Chains A and B, each alone.
Chain A
Amino acid sequence: MINVKNLNKSFNGNSVLKNISVSFEAGKTNLIIGMSGSGKTVLLKSIVGLHEIDSGEIWYENTLFNKLDFADRKKIRSEMGMLFQGSALFDSLTVEQNVRFPLDMFTDKTPEEKIERVNFCLKRVNILNANDLFPSELSGGMKKRVAIARAISLNPKYLFCDEPNSGLDPLTAILIDALIKELTEEYSMTTIVNTHDMNSVMEIGEKIIFISDGVKCWEGNKNEILSSDNEKLNDFVFANSLAKKLRTQKS
């Protein structure tokens, strides 16, 4: 479980996150939704420690993460996996080397054990016979899946996904969403997904927080989101004309 308390973050005096408090539960896919520029990515990067926060607390179980230095954060970081918006695979390494990288860096497994684990992770995300390919030779969907394989190679307790569906076709996006949900349940991970894709929200949104202009405006789940009376949330959820039409018909 990850607890965020009264988190504030600004850049050059411009306040981006304002007093955010939220709990992300283990074994669930927790979604952070909001419009572009609302502060979702900054919140996610603050939670994982890529941005130093101005004030507030970030708790990983019983550890106050934001007060730890780089060396002390390493233990928690070894339990994190992250899927970046652009996949962030290492260009100079093959698929196999990318997935193997955390194992090489942080485990004392034998080469055979590492290969076994790499193949298991790649198989788990349905990437077959691509071990020797470089990221530039992969499609967008394959890159995301390899990035997920790398993220889970160390059996993380926490999985962070920044816009996992960006740049993907709707069918591949659904597959990626399903994969994230399956892995979350399988490994009882605390998963946090940043998205503005409503399909994702309705597919995997077990817990959702809505951010607008750096402020947490709403919290709930996918069953509650359509019936909310929060105006900002409704503007976001029913943004397209089809959704607006359906809403009008329903009301």
Chain B
Amino acid sequence: MIKFLSHLGRYFLLLKKVFSKPEKPVIYYKQTMREFVFLGLNSIGIITIISFFMGAVITLQTAYNTENPIYPAYLIGLGCRDSIILEFSSTVAALILAGKVGSNIASEIGTMRVTEQIDALEIMGVNSASYLILPKIIATLIFNPVLTLISIIVGILGGWIAGTLSGVVTSENFIYGIQYAFIPYYITYSMIKTVFFAFIITSVSAFQGYYVDGGSLEVGRASTKAVVYSSILILLFNVILTQLLLS
């Protein structure tokens, strides 16, 4: 318990350092643009592929579970839409990003720690925590909602293609379903979750990397811990946010 509280304290102290005034805003701006590419643009591919197949599988499973004629056919499109917006594009995509982006951040910062690059920054008088972590947090907070929107669109598209090609639903029924009883607040709910998850992924992974002590083995361990802890926190906050935002 004491160890947990000690880590928690270190985490918040690190955040305090991260959110202090930048030395040169223009340098931070350039770093943020760089992180947009590394953490945001470079994640579009994997999010697109996963969302497409996720949407396809949701549609097929919904279809096979609603074969009873009592259910209207458009329910397949509606089920696909709501599942993707409410849960898959925010939470599942966040879990995947925790694996990709989280391990990337922890290993990058961890390697900088063990090769004394962070010490070099400190010697120069640069606030290393802020310089290395703040641009990543800003980039993911801004770009992850974009990734979620892409995921929603591609997921529904995947559902439509899989549904119509396999013949489990007609194109008209599917399109009617995705328009039926649409609640715009669900998008807001999904975006709010995404922003929280983005912060968790970046800050927890950066924390794991920043305090690495040792060599390459420890960097690997920090990377694994970053993914595991981020994923657990994402699932925990998913429950909390759902209760707060949808109850």
Contacts and interface: CB of A to CB of B under 8 A. Distances in A.
A88 B116 contact: yes
Interface string B187-225: 000000000000000000000000000000000000000
Contacts of B179: none
Given A88-B116, A88-B117, A91-B117, A77 B123 contact: yes
Interface stretch (B42-50, B124-132, B144-152, B237-245): B124-132
Interface stretch (A27-35, A100-108, A184-192): A100-108
Contacts of B123: 48, 50, 77, 80-82, 160
Given A84-B119, A88-B116, A105 B127 contact: no
Interface string A52-96: 000000000000000000100110011011101110111100000
Given A70-B127, A73-B125, A77-B125, A105 B24 contact: yes
Contact of A74 (B115, B120, B125): B125
A88 B23 contact: no
A74 to B, nearest CB: 4
B122 interface: yes
A106 B124 contact: yes
Interface string B106-145: 0000011001110110111111000000000000000000
A50 B124 contact: no
Q: Describe B's contact surface by its main secondary structure.
A: helix
B116 A86 contact: yes
B27 interface: yes
A188 B27 CA distance: 31
Given A86-B115, A88-B115, A106 B120 contact: no
Contacts of B120: 82, 84, 88, 90
Interface residues of B, number: 16
A151 B16 CA distance: 29
Contacts of A104: 24, 27
Most B CB atoms within 10 A — which of A78, A101, A105? A105
A77 B119 contact: no
Contacts of B23: 105-106
A86 to B, nearest CB: 6
Contact of A84 (B116, B125, B127): B116
A70 B21 CA distance: 13
A90 B119 contact: no
Nearest to A107: B24
A83 to B, nearest CB: 10
B119 A105 contact: no
A184 to B, nearest CB: 18
Contacts of B24: 104-105
Given A81-B123, A82-B120, A90-B120, 20 more contacts: A45-B119, A49-B122, A50-B119, A50-B122, A73-B125, A77-B123, A77-B124, A82-B119, A82-B123, A84-B116, A85-B116, A88-B116, A88-B119, A91-B115, A101-B124, A105-B24, A105-B27, A105-B126, A106-B125, A160-B123
Interface of A: 45, 48-50, 70, 73-74, 77-78, 80-82, 84-86, 88-91, 101-102, 104-106, 160
9 contacts: A48-B123, A49-B122, A78-B125, A90-B112, A91-B115, A101-B124, A105-B27, A105-B124, A106-B125
